[in-house]
Amino acid sequence: MDSRIYLAEKLRQAHYQELLREAEKRRLLAQLPRHRRSTIKLAAGKLGVLLLKLGSRLKQFEQSPTVLEDQPTSW
């Protein structure tokens, strides 16, 4: 009789540990999408800033020769 109680207790403990592992997995997976979204938003924001800087540099580069062409040369 004692061996049955022992086995039942071991089975209960194993089941409990499995439930804890599943709950931890679900908790970690529930956090994952929010983390991915924030990473994507951060990357998109940095890309936007980079593109704005690049655009302003290109405008400066584009305007530089026209400014030089309008000025008389004194050579």
29-43 per-position pLDDT tens digit: 888 766 667 888 889
DSSP 8-state code for residue 73: P
Give the range among 18-27, 29-38, 46-55 with minimum mean pLDDT.
29-38
pLDDT of residue 24: 96
What amino acid is encoded at 15 in this protein? H
Pairwise CA distance, residues 65 & 61, whole Å: 7
Angle made by CA atoms 13, 14, 18, in degrees to the nearest 5:
115
CA pair distance 31, 41, nearest whole angstrom: 16
pLDDT value at residue 44:
92
